[in-house]
Chains A and B, each alone.
Chain A
Amino acid sequence: MKLSRRLFISSAAVALTAPAYLRTGLAQSAPIVIGSMTPLTGGGGPYGPEKSDAHRAVVAEVNANGGVMGREVRLISEDSETNPEAAVRAARKLIDADKVSAILGTWASSVTLGIMPLCQEANVLQLFSGSSDYLPDGDSKGLIFNLQPLNKAWAVALADLAVQRGFKEVAFAGPKNDFAASMGESFAASLQALGGSIVGEPFYYNPGQASYRAEAEQLIRMNPPAIFMAGYVTDFIPVYRELIRGGFTGQIITLSFAVGPDFKDAVGSAADGILHGSPIPPIGKDSYDAYLKLVGIEPNGQVQNSYGCMAYDEINLCLLGMEMAKSTVSSDVAAAIRQIANGPGDRVTTFAEGKALIDAGKPMNYDGASSSADFQENGMLKSRDFALYEIKDGKDEIILTTTSDATK
């Protein structure tokens, strides 16, 4: 078949106008439209699906029980591609074509910050998980809520551990990205507050390299007693290998997601002795177990779906906020979310429990699957559980669980 110009132009015209016809067909009743923008592909690909699933599971349950304010909730999923450029286009579609009231589920801080100007301009609520210390800077209207503690909070706990183990001089290394850059600054500040200091300059490398030998050599030459590495699993494995090969014998401190099963398989017994920590969901708590069961996972006393449980809280808070405000206007919903999340009031863990209290005219305090979900004035978490581990015989041995306080 030869595609003539006329055929092409006419078919292109049909293809271009098709969405307009589809939309008029669909927009009959007035459902509440919420955008779920998760990293389904790209660097966040391993974590996006569990977030997306949590959003959909809650919405399905809420719709089955009569919806929010008696209206159906329509969840529109978009892929952020873990890329701010693609995310901005997806956000345009959610805001301008779907007219969403809120965008939930962004993961990478660069994506969350990238779409923030659009959301602020259109008064769209953002609930997300991200840890860059710069996140609150982009919000001037009080429309953001973050279910992940900022780097500052992580850094306090890890610096504490380093000093307890007798390491006051610690080198810092991490990939040159938003997360590690702000982690480096926060860790240095926390260490200094405890009387320690960073060895030399904070050391940043470019992620995605074929070899990290030069970087490892440079770290070894600095000869620090301990190194805190804020890497991801993809770059942490090769850097760690090069460090061991180069004869580094000091202490390694890192983040739990860098030393998961993949890492332990890759390096074997060389993993022993590493100290690591990260925010964790409250294992064994009813709200966390309820989330796991909702998405079809059996609680096993371990950390599972550490991002999915935050997505569960994102959607619950958003829907409860709308139900309480009896509105989808973002400023009203944000005010309601502050009341629901921080209390005071009866403890609730699901939308159904919260709705019952709203109908009875009683106040509530939402207790989430990822944390107690109490927010500061800028929408950042007040505190989250944080666990510190040491690897012994290829297994994580818990040192302590603390509740980090982000308000200090």
Chain B
Amino acid sequence: MDAYLVAILTTAAIYVILALALNMQFGLTGLMNFGVVGFYGLGAYSSGIMTETLGQPIVMGMLAAMIVGGTAGALVSLLSIRLSGDFLAIVTLGFAETMRLAFNNEDWLTRGPRGFLIMTRPVLEGLGRDATAWFILGVFLLVAAVVFVVFNRLAGSPFGRVLRSIREDDLVPATLGKNVLAYRLKAFVLGSSVMALAGSLYAHYVQTVTPDNFTTQVAVLVWMSLIVGGAGNMKGAVLGALVVTAIYEGTRFLAPLMEFLTPTQVSALRFIIIGTLLIVVVRFRPEGLLPERIVARPAARDPAPG
């Protein structure tokens, strides 16, 4: 059981990182990125190609993932960022699908549908099976913690305040002389490169990636995490990812309690339960479990007349 919990926490850590990245883009800045899985997959393959095809160490793979993910984020956002939210949503959705087709068809680079085998792992040599699992979990938690601390600081900084004001009404910061496009671009690139970093971690953890690993389902889980947790709040994003993973995995253990149903029915029921729980959360707590808290500053006093 311990080993299983370690494995699930490792998966959860990846979703935490993805949810934090999406929170930077959507929660703070209001950029609708439905192409989470495109950047995630790009990171996974970039990192894999760096370590397997080019034989570089894993740190180079992670770095390559962040650079490629960030560059792709810049290109995608420059294509569409001037347009309003809905257009960006469609462009990113298209981007994710394009990426999946590229992974599937560029066999010379990605080995296509047969899957890309990755032998490099983020561990020290010579650890046993249990120790390896714990080590990987430690690395992932560390990365998640670093992303959280950095993003949380950014969210509370003047940078974060500008992003929030862009989300609420981009005319206001523009009037105050802020370059709205540059801020949107920064937020999007930051988020995309962290999504790619998560992809890199995932690839070296599961060790085989195929284009089927990067379907929209993953993006849906990340969006669920953010909406359940509370968009705009970094702690909410973390909690949301943990809750969604817990629901998703926890429902597996219902099967022994329902011996009277066939596995096919249990499988269908699992998705019904997941859907219902999410609806309940959104119905009773639409702002998320940990809503965004904006500290109201005391209104500045009018300067004394005269």
- B253 in contact with A18 (CB, 8 Å): yes
A89-B249 contact in complex given A3-B285, A114-B206, C-beta closer than 8 Å: yes
Q: Which residue of B lies closest to A41 (CB)?
A: B267
CB distance from B135 to the nearest CB of A (A): 14
Bound state CA distance, A396 and B213, in angstroms?
Answer: 37
The interface size of chain B toward A, counting residues with CB under 8 Å, comes to 49
CB contacts (< 8 Å) of B179 on chain A: these are: none
Bound state CA distance, A122 and B130, in angstroms?
Answer: 10
A181-B255 contact in complex given A40-B267, A49-B264, A122-B129, C-beta closer than 8 Å: no
Question: A93 contacts the other chain (Cβ, under 8 Å)?
Answer: yes
Bound state CA distance, A204 and B101, in angstroms?
Answer: 12
Bound state CA distance, A96 and B114, in angstroms?
Answer: 26
Task: Name the contact of A182 in the complex, choosing from B114, B210, B252, B268 (C-beta under 8 A).
Answer: B114
Q: Which residue of A lies closest to B218 (CB)?
A: A85
- B263 in contact with A110 (CB, 8 Å): no
- Interface stretch, picked from B2-10, B16-24, B55-63, is B2-10
Bound state CA distance, A204 and B2, in angstroms?
Answer: 45
CB contacts (< 8 Å) of B206 on chain A: these are: 88, 114, 117
Question: B243 contacts the other chain (Cβ, under 8 Å)?
Answer: yes
Interface residues of B in 110-124 (CB under 8 A from A): 112-115, 117
A52-B262 contact in complex given A5-B290, A15-B246, A117-B208, C-beta closer than 8 Å: yes
Interface string of A59-103 (1 = CB under 8 A from B): 000000000000000001111000111101110110111000000
Bound state CA distance, A355 and B20, in angstroms?
Answer: 56
- A26 in contact with B210 (CB, 8 Å): no
- A20 in contact with B252 (CB, 8 Å): no
Q: Which residue of B lies closest to A207 (CB)?
A: B104
Q: Which residue of A lies closest to B101 (CB)?
A: A206
- A36 in contact with B1 (CB, 8 Å): no
- B253 in contact with A89 (CB, 8 Å): no
Q: Which residue of A lies closest to B277 (CB)?
A: A15
- B267 in contact with A79 (CB, 8 Å): yes
Question: A134 contacts the other chain (Cβ, under 8 Å)?
Answer: yes
CB distance from A135 to the nearest CB of B (A): 10
CB distance from A100 to the nearest CB of B (A): 12
Interface string of B127-154 (1 = CB under 8 A from A): 0010000000000000000000000000
- B208 in contact with A113 (CB, 8 Å): yes
Question: B78 contacts the other chain (Cβ, under 8 Å)?
Answer: no
- B253 in contact with A22 (CB, 8 Å): yes
Bound state CA distance, A177 and B104, in angstroms?
Answer: 8
CB contacts (< 8 Å) of B289 on chain A: these are: 3, 5, 8
Task: Name the contact of A96 in the complex, choosing from B3, B207, B253, B267 (C-beta under 8 A).
Answer: B3
Question: B11 contacts the other chain (Cβ, under 8 Å)?
Answer: yes
Question: A178 contacts the other chain (Cβ, under 8 Å)?
Answer: yes
CB distance from B246 to the nearest CB of A (A): 6
CB distance from B252 to the nearest CB of A (A): 6
- A2 in contact with B268 (CB, 8 Å): no
Interface residues of B in 76-131 (CB under 8 A from A): 101, 104-105, 107, 112-115, 117, 129
- A20 in contact with B105 (CB, 8 Å): no
CB distance from B119 to the nearest CB of A (A): 10
Question: A316 contacts the other chain (Cβ, under 8 Å)?
Answer: no
Interface residues of B in 1-44 (CB under 8 A from A): 1-4, 6-8, 11
CB contacts (< 8 Å) of A96 on chain B: these are: 1-4, 6-7
Task: Name the contact of B268 in the complex, choosing from A12, A41, A92 (C-beta under 8 A).
Answer: A41
Interface string of A290-326 (1 = CB under 8 A from B): 0000000000000000000000000000000000000
Q: Which residue of B lies closest to A37 (CB)?
A: B263
Interface string of B232-269 (1 = CB under 8 A from A): 00000000000100100110110111000011101110
Question: A23 contacts the other chain (Cβ, under 8 Å)?
Answer: yes
CB distance from A14 to the nearest CB of B (A): 11
CB contacts (< 8 Å) of A117 on chain B: these are: 206-208
A97-B268 contact in complex given A89-B249, A110-B113, A176-B113, C-beta closer than 8 Å: no
- B112 in contact with A181 (CB, 8 Å): yes
- A52 in contact with B250 (CB, 8 Å): no
Bound state CA distance, A227 and B89, in angstroms?
Answer: 40
CB contacts (< 8 Å) of B213 on chain A: these are: 83-85, 114
Bound state CA distance, A19 and B250, in angstroms?
Answer: 7
Bound state CA distance, A53 and B264, in angstroms?
Answer: 9
Question: B215 contacts the other chain (Cβ, under 8 Å)?
Answer: yes
- B212 in contact with A110 (CB, 8 Å): yes
CB distance from A36 to the nearest CB of B (A): 7
Interface string of A104-142 (1 = CB under 8 A from B): 000000100110110001100000000010100010000
- A16 in contact with B284 (CB, 8 Å): no
Question: B217 contacts the other chain (Cβ, under 8 Å)?
Answer: yes
- A20 in contact with B104 (CB, 8 Å): no
CB contacts (< 8 Å) of B7 on chain A: these are: 92, 96
Given contacts A5-B289, A41-B271, 7 further A-B contacts (CB under 8 A): A15-B250, A19-B253, A23-B1, A84-B115, A84-B212, A89-B249, A113-B208
**7 residue pairs from A and B, CB less than 8 Å apart:** A3-B284, A12-B243, A18-B250, A48-B264, A85-B213, A138-B117, A204-B105
